[in-house]
Copies of this chain bind each other. A is one copy, B any other.
């Protein structure tokens, strides 16, 4: 259909995909804060744990790449996770520049508690698995383009 004229105001807030993304993430963070409060961790910390639960013994850069974050963000975050007792940070023996991140027993154990979170968050979304999967794939495609050009 697209009955809108070409002069449609692109600066209108509610027209913008970027704001929809931005504000939806605020809502997601809100839900996660509530859920993660019991684990005493933040959402970005939870993401680091997701990465480590898939495979341990990663250096800082590898975690950065996986999460699309900068070292500047991760270094202090990892220190907090270490203080929290969930990970260990130790320099690599073969390359002293690298810091290898490993889960502690407590960090590994936390996985069991975290298992119930995805379903809980999905409950707050009122979405079917199909919708969630489709939306995720569209976003990943968008992300690929954004990081290609930026």
Using a CB–CB cutoff of 8 Å, the interface residues on chain A facing chain B are 2, 10-28, 30-32, 34, 43, 47, 50-51, 53-54, 66-69, 111, 114-115, 117-119, 121, 123-127, 129-133, 135-136, 138-140, 142-143, 145-147, 149-150
Contacts and interface: CB of A to CB of B under 8 A. Distances in A.
A102 to B, nearest CB: 18
A17 B139 contact: yes
Q: Is the interface of A mostly helix, strand, loop or mixed?
A: helix
Contact of A140 (B20, B115, B139): B20
A135 B136 contact: no
A53 B11 CA distance: 8
A146 B124 contact: yes
A84 B138 CA distance: 37
A47 B21 CA distance: 13
Contact of A30 (B119, B139, B142, B147): B147
A146 B31 contact: yes
A103 to B, nearest CB: 13
B23 A68 contact: yes
CB-based closest 7 A-B pairs: A27-B146, A10-B118, A20-B139, A30-B150, A24-B143, A126-B145, A17-B136
